[in-house]
């Protein structure tokens, strides 16, 4: 469990408005690098509390799975990590979330900067009604990359990383809506990869896909964790067991258990986790 | 006993069914009244006007003799008028729609603006003419010019464009907006790069319908002083101008019968322009 | 494209690129702040338009009423501005007469069309008929006016020899035809939104379509239908060109439809096109008439909105 990961360059990147070269607050002395440190996070939709005192450290370059029954707050939690949850105007939060040592709620840098580092893939494939090329180039363009040569390269690289290059390389100018659901979802992953985030949040990315597409996405996740830290929500426990290094079990807005995936599934320490993974509810 | 009862019921049912069928015919006939009227109108206009519709009619300025009269000034005037109405009304109308749908807090002020727009849509067009007369013609001293007419018309069609654009923007799926925000795009970037392109067909369709209303409007332009007899085409925003409906109105009002035919020819040109615009709207709707 | 990809000399670090671009972000940050301000400006145009209309009508009307008493204006039975008589009642009755005739034509025809489209027509028929009917609403009113004067009036004259060249009847009928699509279309929408299970329930009990239409659908869609009628009538009140062309310019306190009359709108056109000079009493009188017209239509529109708000609460 004690792994020393410090071989990834992306971890060295400055956060926020900092120019390249600004030093990152490194958690000197810790053996393991965390991308997120969540402390006592509470969240309310209006008066309804949806998350209760969550504490969690999300490791870097690992796949962290979040499981739990429907409505337990998995999506809410995930969307809090890139502050997408604030799109709902009534949302209030308390507690702290540190991304690489910096409080994401602080005014130091905008949500746009956070979301450039923490990308997201949604439950339902949601490509833009544009060409495949324009879909993938969207992020870099939004952030000011305009050169065609650079964009060409980014698009190819991202599509390759998302394992869909071979399927679409001859029709980059066709509308992404013409692809199958599974292909669309990988386009969405490529789109997220195009701005080279550090973290990719995935909210049940395979729940709308057929088994073969699901398999492809799962393999992709395994591949991607070499370069990215991945947090994936799934209510499919087999999937969590197959692809994740660590698993968090949520229930009614609380984090019940968070441990190595092997441990959590073979020897859960909480009775409720055991009930859930043995299919007694949810 | 039971039998006669059954008979009675049977009879009543037959009566009810009969009534149903009779009224069905009546309802259908009523529906056709509007359609027949439309057909008659088109037939009349075509048969009356076709004789006068030729190259000269399109290219001639107004003239004292029916054979020499033409709609050139009106056709060009209408196009130039739309050249003012379109940019002004589209920018302000779509801007208003974006503001209401994407930026405004859902509070009383927003509600007020919304209801206000709804009410503006119900204000008779001639009242806009009075507004234009006071404001553009006299207060801003534009006089009876193209710009005064164009701005008056822009205000007139504004509510139509706002409502159409709002509907189009509202129907853009939330998930592609989320995708954009999720990549760190700002609000305006998301609107400009995702929302507006996706809403474009709806906005364009509504806009074209609004503009065709502007092309057909007569009354407000009479008030803000569109001229009836123009012998040069406008060369600046502050030129005098005329439009097709005004010319048609003018010809209709003349007592000699030949002028009716000229008016009918003018109507054909006007309707063709409207038909073209609507064809474009349908094309856009089907293409996307 | 392939060539560019083989050129691996560019060291691709998108995040570094983004960081570089971020320096320029102060500009886009400004845009981000300016845009809402600009959009608010756009939205305020419609509010300013309303304010402008109210201000214009009010200011010029007040000037008018300083020389003509408002009481005389609204109770006077003679409207001949060029000889100094400003009694608006003939214009109001003229407007009401046109509106009444239009309503007599449009309400039954519009409603029956709506019932046919909503309850009897096949989907295919509805898809063809409804848009065709709506074409009527897109025809410029000057064209209707032309048709009323040159076709409807002569046609009516063959039944009613006493009919004048300019008359309220022909104009009113054509205004009525013009508003048919409004009533038909909006009422049909209202009827269509009546849940189908209500219909099916009644049909299952052996009711005919007619009975379903009158006992179930019409009552349920009542306020939607009313709202559409009120809106259409408001449209008829404000209609200008048809009356200008076909009803003439003879203000008359009469409800005789065969005679020439003048409406509020028609006078505004006459007053603005004649040799009216800016600042004359007649000039101001068109605003007083405009204000009267505006109040009428505003009331109707508010009534329509009130009715349809109630309608929305029902479901
Ligand atoms: N936009 C929202 N407004 C109010 N309540 C919400 C909203 N989204 C989710 N919730 C509530 O928050 C709780 C957690 O929802 P969610 O995070 O979507 O659960 P999960 O993804 O685990 O199924 C649920 O009780 C849900 O009703
Ligand atoms: Mg969820």
pLDDT tens digits, B203-246: 998 999 899 999 999 999 999 988 777 778 888 888 899 999 99
The sheet that has A229-233: what strands, in order across it? A102-103, A91-99, A34-45, A48-59, A254-260, A246-251, A63-67, A229-233, A199-203, A118-121
Across the interface, whether the CB atoms of C112 and B26 are under 8 A apart is answered: yes
| C144 in the same domain as C79 | yes
Interacting residues of B183 by C-beta distance below 8 A, sequence separation 6+: A115, A116, A119, A120, A138, A139, A142, A191, A192, A195
Q: Closest-CA residue in chain C for B115?
A: C305
Full pLDDT tens readout for chain A, 282 residues = 333 333 333 333 344 433 333 334 444 444 568 999 999 999 999 999 999 999 999 999 999 999 999 999 999 999 999 999 998 989 999 999 999 888 998 877 788 889 999 999 999 999 999 999 999 999 999 988 889 999 999 999 999 999 899 999 999 999 999 999 999 999 999 999 999 999 999 999 998 888 998 998 899 999 998 899 999 999 888 999 999 999 999 999 999 999 999 999 999 999 999 999 887 665
Question: Does A181 reside within a domain?
Answer: yes
SS (H, E, C) C47-115: HHHHHHHHHHHHHHHHHHHHHCCHHHHHHCCCEEHHHCEECCHHHHHHHHHHHHHHHHHHHHHHHHHHH
Find the domain containing A259 and state its range. Answer: 62-81+115-277
Here the tokens at position B109 are 């002020």
- C-alpha closest to that of A159 among A182, A181, A138, A186: A186
Question: Does B1 reside within a domain?
Answer: no
Sign, Cα dihedral of A142, A144, A149, A154: negative
Q: Which of C66, C92, C107 is the last residue of a domain?
A: C66
| C279 pLDDT higher than 90 | no
Tens digits of residue pLDDT in B167-185: 999 999 999 999 999 999 9
Q: Which of residues 12-31 of C touch A (CB under 8 A)?
A: 12-25, 28
Ligand 1 atom index nearest CA of A233: 21
Find the domain containing C45 and state its range. Answer: 1-66
| B176 in the same domain as B46 | no
| C228 in the same domain as C97 | yes
Instruction: Label residues C269-294 b or e (16+ Cβ within 10 Å = b).
Output: bbbbeeebeeeeebbbbbbbbbbbbb
Here the ipTM equals 0.91
Asked whether the beta carbons of C133 and C184 are under 8 A apart, the reply is yes
Question: Does C270 reside within a domain?
Answer: yes
Q: Is B178 near chain A, with CB under 8 Å?
A: yes
Long-range contact list for C1-7, CB < 8 A, 24+ apart? C1/A152, C4/A148, C4/A149, C4/A152, C4/A153, C5/A152, C5/A153, C5/A156, C7/A149
Give the chains touching A; criterion: ≥3 Cβ pairs < 8 Å: B, C
d(CA C277, CA C271): 10
Instruction: Please tell me the total count of domains within chain A.
Output: 1
| C264 in the same domain as C120 | yes
Of all protein residues, whose CA lies closest to atom 16 belonging to ligand 1?
Answer: A73
Interacting residues of B187 by C-beta distance below 8 A, sequence separation 6+: B102, B103, B181, C32
Of all protein residues, whose CA lies closest to atom 5 belonging to ligand 1?
Answer: A45
Give the chains touching B; criterion: ≥3 Cβ pairs < 8 Å: A, C
Across the interface, whether the CB atoms of B183 and A129 are under 8 A apart is answered: no
Across the interface, whether the CB atoms of C22 and A10 are under 8 A apart is answered: no
**CA of C293 to nearest chain B CA: how many angstroms apart?**
8
| B31 pLDDT higher than 60 | yes
Size of interface A-B (CB pairs under 8 A): 65
Across the interface, whether the CB atoms of B131 and C56 are under 8 A apart is answered: yes
Name residues contacting ligand 1 (CB within 6 A): A 45, 48, 50, 68, 70-76, 88
CA A171 to chain CA centroid, Å, is 28
Tell me the CA distances in angstroms from B34 to A237, B51, C38, C138, C167, one per residue in order.
64, 27, 45, 13, 21
Question: Does B238 reside within a domain?
Answer: yes
| B137 in the same domain as B262 | yes
Ligand 1 atom index nearest CA of A46: 4
Question: Does A154 reside within a domain?
Answer: yes
Which of the ligands is closest to the CA of residue A204?
2
Report the pLDDT value the prediction gives residue B236, as an integer from 0 to 100: 86
Q: Which of residues 182-241 of B touch C (CB under 8 A)?
A: 186-189, 209, 212-213, 215-219, 222-223, 225
Tens digits of residue pLDDT in C191-249: 998 888 888 888 888 888 888 999 899 998 988 899 999 999 999 999 999 999 999 89
Reported as half-sphere exposure (CB side, CA atoms, 13 A), residue C204 has a value of 6
Here the tokens at position A202 are 């995935």
Query: Pairing between strand A34-45 and A91-99?
Result: antiparallel
d(CA A199, CA A220): 15
Q: Which of B52, B73, B90 is the last residue of a domain?
A: B52
| B87 pLDDT higher than 70 | yes
Question: Does C315 reside within a domain?
Answer: no
| B24 in the same domain as B125 | no
Phi, psi of A144 (to 5 degrees): 100, 0
Report the pLDDT value the prediction gives residue A32, as an integer from 0 to 100: 63
Residue A168, classed as helix, strand or coil, is helix
Across the interface, whether the CB atoms of B252 and C52 are under 8 A apart is answered: no
Which of A71, A72, A120, A255 to probe ligand 1 with, by most ligand atoms within 8 A of CB? A71
| B82 in the same domain as B38 | no
| C13 pLDDT higher than 90 | no
d(CA B185, CA A84): 12
**CA of B131 to nearest chain C CA: how many angstroms apart?**
6
CA of A276 to the centre of ligand 2 (A): 17
Q: Where are the beta strands (DSSP E) in B27-135?
A: none
d(CA A61, CA A229): 4
Q: Is B124 near chain C, with CB under 8 Å?
A: yes
Residue A140 maps to which CATH number?
3.40.50.300
Q: Where are the beta strands (DSSP E) in chain A?
A: 34-45, 48-59, 63-67, 91-99, 102-103, 118-121, 199-203, 229-233, 246-251, 254-260
**Closest partner residue to A87 among B176, B181, B184, by Cβ?**
B181
Report the pLDDT value the prediction gives residue B69, as an integer from 0 to 100: 84
| C258 in the same domain as C202 | yes
CA of A50 to the centre of ligand 1 (A): 7
Which of A48, A49, A50 to probe ligand 1 with, by most ligand atoms within 8 A of CB? A50
Report the pLDDT value the prediction gives residue A248, as an integer from 0 to 100: 95
Asked whether the beta carbons of A113 and A82 are under 8 A apart, the reply is no
CB neighbourhood size of B85 (10 A): 27
Query: Pairing between strand A246-251 and A63-67?
Result: parallel
Here the tokens at position B77 are 């005037």
| C194 in the same domain as C158 | yes
CA C272 to chain CA centroid, Å, is 22
Apex C183 CA angle, C182 and C186, nearest 5: 80
d(CA A40, CA A122): 26
- C-alpha closest to that of A277 among A244, A236, A243, A242: A236
Here the tokens at position A63 are 């796949």
**CA of C276 to nearest chain B CA: how many angstroms apart?**
11
In whole numbers, what is the pLDDT of chain C averaged over residues? 88
Here the tokens at position B79 are 């196009």
Q: Is B183 near chain A, with CB under 8 Å?
A: yes
| B233 in the same domain as B113 | yes
| C61 pLDDT higher than 60 | yes
Tell me the CA distances in angstroms from C125 to C128, C210, C315, one per residue in order.
5, 19, 28
| C190 in the same domain as C88 | yes
Phi, psi of C187 (to 5 degrees): -65, -40
Q: Which of C19, C44, C66 is the last residue of a domain?
A: C66
Asked whether the beta carbons of A59 and A229 are under 8 A apart, the reply is yes
Find the domain containing B26 and state its range. Answer: 6-52
d(CA C127, CA C98): 32
Ligand 1 atom index nearest CA of A203: 21
The predicted model gives B258-262 an average pLDDT of 92
Q: Closest-CA residue in chain A for B179?
A: A126
Report the pLDDT value the prediction gives residue C312, as an integer from 0 to 100: 61
**CA of C196 to nearest chain B CA: how many angstroms apart?**
19
Tens digits of residue pLDDT in C72-116: 999 989 999 888 899 999 999 999 999 999 999 999 999 999 999
Name the DSSP class of A143. T
d(CA C194, CA A269): 56
Residue C193, classed as helix, strand or coil, is coil
Across the interface, whether the CB atoms of B185 and A127 are under 8 A apart is answered: no
| B283 pLDDT higher than 70 | yes
Q: Which of C66, C89, C105 is the last residue of a domain?
A: C66
């Amino acid at each position: 469990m004690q792994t020393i990961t410090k071989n990834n360059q992306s971890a060295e990147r400055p956060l926020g408005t900092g120019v390249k070269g600004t030093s990152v607050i490194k958690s000197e002395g810790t053996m393991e690098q965390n991308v997120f440190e969540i402390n006592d996070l509470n969240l309310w939709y209006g008066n309804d509390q949806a998350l209760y005192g969550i504490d969690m450290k999300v490791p870097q370059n690992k796949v962290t799975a979040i499981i739990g029954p429907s409505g337990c707050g998995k999506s809410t939690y995930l969307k809090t990590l890139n502050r997408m949850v604030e799109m709902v105007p009534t949302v209030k939060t308390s507690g702290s979330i540190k991304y690489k040592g910096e409080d994401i709620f602080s005014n130091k840098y905008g949500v746009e900067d956070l979301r450039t580092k923490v990308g997201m893939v949604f439950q339902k494939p949601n490509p833009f009604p544009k060409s495949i090329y324009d879909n993938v180039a969207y992020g870099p363009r939004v952030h000011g990359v305009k050169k065609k040569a650079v964009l060409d390269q980014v698009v190819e690289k991202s599509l390759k990383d998302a394992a869909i290059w071979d399927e679409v390389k001859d029709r980059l100018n066709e509308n992404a809506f013409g692809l199958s659901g599974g292909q669309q979802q990988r386009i969405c992953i490529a789109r997220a990869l195009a701005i080279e985030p550090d973290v990719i949040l995935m909210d049940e990315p395979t729940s709308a896909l057929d088994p073969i597409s699901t398999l492809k996405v799962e393999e992709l996740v395994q591949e991607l964790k070499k370069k990215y830290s991945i947090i994936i929500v799934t209510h499919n426990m087999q999937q969590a067991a197959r692809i994740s290094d660590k698993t968090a079990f949520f229930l009614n807005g609380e984090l019940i258990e968070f441990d190595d995936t092997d441990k959590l599934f073979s020897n859960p320490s909480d009775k409720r986790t055991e009930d859930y993974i043995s299919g007694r509810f949810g | 006993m039971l039998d006669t009862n059954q008979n009675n019921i049977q009879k009543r049912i037959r009566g009810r069914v009969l009534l149903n069928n009779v009224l069905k015919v009546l309802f259908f006939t009523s529906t056709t009244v509007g359609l027949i009227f439309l057909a008659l109108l088109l037939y009349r206009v075509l048969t009356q006007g076709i004789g006068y519709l030729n190259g000269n009619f399109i290219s001639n300025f107004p003239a004292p003799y029916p054979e020499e009269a033409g709609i050139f000034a009106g056709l060009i005037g209408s196009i130039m008028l739309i050249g003012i109405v379109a940019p002004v009304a589209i920018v302000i109308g779509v801007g208003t729609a974006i503001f209401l749908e994407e930026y405004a807090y859902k509070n009383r002020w927003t509600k007020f603006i919304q209801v206000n727009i709804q009410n503006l849509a119900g204000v008779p067009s001639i009242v806009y003419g009075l507004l234009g007369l006071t404001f553009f013609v006299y207060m801003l001293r534009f006089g009876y010019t193209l710009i005064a007419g164009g701005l008056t018309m822009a205000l007139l069609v504004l509510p139509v464009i706002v409502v159409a654009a709002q509907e189009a923007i509202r129907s853009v799926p939330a998930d592609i907006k989320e995708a954009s925000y999720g990549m760190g795009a700002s609000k305006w970037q998301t609107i400009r790069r995702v929302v507006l392109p996706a809403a474009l067909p709806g906005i364009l369709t509504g806009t074209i319908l609004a503009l065709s209303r502007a092309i057909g409007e007569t009354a407000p332009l009479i008030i803000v002083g569109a001229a009836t007899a123009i012998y040069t085409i406008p060369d600046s925003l502050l030129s005098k101008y005329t439009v097709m409906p005004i010319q048609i109105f003018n010809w209709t009002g003349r007592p000699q019968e030949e002028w009716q035919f000229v008016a009918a020819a003018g109507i054909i040109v006007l309707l063709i322009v409207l038909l073209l615009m609507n064809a474009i709207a349908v094309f856009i709707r089907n293409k996307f | 494209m392939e060539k560019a990809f083989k050129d691996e000399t560019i060291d691709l670090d998108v995040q570094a690129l983004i960081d570089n671009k971020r320096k320029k972000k102060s500009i886009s940050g400004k845009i981000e702040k300016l845009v809402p301000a600009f959009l608010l400006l756009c939205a305020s145009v419609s509010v300013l338009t309303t304010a402008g209309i109210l201000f214009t009508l009010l200011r010029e009307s007040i000037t008018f009423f300083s020389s003509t008493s408002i009481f005389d204006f609204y109770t006077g039975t003679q409207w001949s501005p060029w000889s100094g008589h400003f009694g608006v009642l003939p214009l109001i009755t003229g407007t009401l007469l046109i509106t009444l005739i239009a309503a007599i034509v449009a309400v039954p025809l519009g409603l029956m069309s709506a019932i046919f489209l909503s309850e009897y027509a096949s989907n295919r028929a509805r898809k063809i008929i409804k848009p065709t009917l709506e074409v009527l609403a897109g025809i410029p009113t000057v064209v209707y006016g032309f048709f009323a004067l040159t076709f409807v009036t002569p046609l009516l004259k063959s039944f009613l020899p006493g009919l004048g060249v300019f008359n309220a009847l022909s104009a009113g009928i054509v205004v009525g035809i013009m508003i048919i699509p409004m009533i038909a279309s909006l009422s049909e929408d209202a009827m269509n939104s009546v849940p189908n299970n209500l219909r099916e329930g009644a049909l299952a009990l052996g009711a005919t379509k007619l009975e379903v239409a009158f006992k179930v659908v019409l009552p349920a869609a009542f306020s939607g239908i009313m709202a559409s009628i009120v809106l259409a009538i408001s449209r008829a009140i404000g209609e200008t060109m048809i009356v200008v062309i076909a009803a003439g310019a003879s203000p008359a306190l009469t409800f005789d439809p065969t005679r020439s009359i003048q409406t509020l709108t028609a006078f505004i056109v006459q007053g603005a096109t004649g040799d009216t000079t800016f600042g004359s009493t007649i000039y101001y009188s068109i605003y007083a008439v405009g204000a009267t017209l505006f109040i009428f239509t505003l009331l109707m529109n508010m009534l329509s909105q009130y009715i349809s708000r109630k309608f929305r609460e029902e479901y």
